[in-house]
Structure 1
Amino acid sequence: MQKTARDSQNFEIKLDAQLCFAIYGAAHAFNRTYKPLLEPLGLTYPQYLVMIALWEEDGQPVKAIGDRLGLDSGTLSPLLKRLEQAGFVARKRDRDDERQVRISLTGKGAELKNEAANVTEAIGKALGCGLDEAAALRDGLVALKERLLSACG
């Protein structure tokens, strides 16, 4: 039986029944969990994500990092500036295309990867689940994100 507009008016909207609220709460819990782990490294969570992207592939253009992380230049530029001031990255104009700025790890930034290894381990412990379960959760959320992005055009 199909719901009508009248049925919708009688439908109770409850906060705890909202998937988006559960995801929102989980995101905040992740941030609270990461914060004390990243502070000794001198990183915020968004800076940590940039560093992971650079540890995977050094020397990326700013645009590629922004696309990968879903960050616009207004958010990414000050974040990169702070990483540069901390000595973790260097910003340099691309030789072939002066309009592009490439971000490269410094020696200090590359070495930070070793110190950050304990962050992943600590998050794994905080999750309290195995690698397979964590991967299934991640894959489900990635699929959800893709469906939502598809739906909004």
Structure 2
Amino acid sequence: MRPDETLGSWVALVMHSLTNAFAEVLQRQCKHLEKPYTITPPQWAALAWIDTYQVLPIGVLAQKLGIDASVATGIVKRLEVHGLIERVHDQIDRRIVRLSLTSEGSEIVHQLNPVVIAFNERSFHGFSLEQQQILLEQLRQIISNVALETGSRHDNLV
């Protein structure tokens, strides 16, 4: 079987293309805003999830991002260094670390939203709303199918 006949090859190619293009969009916008940092796609997703929930335990963030907690910790450390998020240890269970946005973190999320929306719209160019919804549902189904195969749980992403 040729690689271009496999779902894995197509997903890898799409993921690589989307991630690189999205990273470029975020980098350009951070530069335009004269920020001393650049937000990467995983960092943007982390900031957006924290913004959505206001306060989010780091373990839940890792689940939302579909990554290991150790990888999420690395993302959190970089965001913290840039002054975009704060960590607060739970008073009762010190193992639980809750994340919230600083005012700068909230500001950058809201400043990036228009370019993120525009990128999303460009990525779906030529797709009807119905086709977009079908594609997203199909991707959710693939995630579910793979989770069954590997025993991993990513149903929280869908």
TM class by smaller structure: 0.7 to 0.9
Q: Give the deviation of 1:123 after TM superposition.
A: 2.6
CA deviation profile, 1:29-60 (whole Å, cap 9, x unmatched): 11121012111332111111101111210211
Superposed, 1:1-153 pairs within 5 Å as 13-39=1-27, 40-41=29-30, 42-118=38-114, 119-128=116-125, 129-153=127-151
Q: Give the deviation of 1:82 after TM superposition.
A: 0.6
Structure 1: runs of 5 or more not aligned: 1-12
**Aligned positions, number:** 141
TM-score, length-normalised on structure 2? 0.82
Task: Kindly indicate whether the alpha-carbon contact (under 8 Å) linking 2:51 and 2:106 is maintained by their aligned counterparts in 1.
Answer: yes
Structure number, greater radius of gyration: 1
CA deviation profile, 1:71-110 (whole Å, cap 9, x unmatched): 1122111110110111110111112211111111111111
Structure 2: runs of 5 or more not aligned: 31-37, 152-158
Question: Root-mean-square deviation (CA), in Å?
Answer: 1.4
Aligned to 1:6: none
Task: Kindly indicate whether the alpha-carbon contact (under 8 Å) linking 1:34 and 1:123 is maintained by their aligned counterparts in 2.
Answer: no
Measure, in 2, the Cα distance between the counterparts of 1:79 and 1:152: 25
Give the fraction of aligned pairs with identical amino acids, expressed as a percent.
23
Q: Secondary structure at the match of 2:148?
A: helix
Measure, in 2, the Cα distance between the counterparts of 1:95 and 1:142: 37
Aligned to 1:9: none
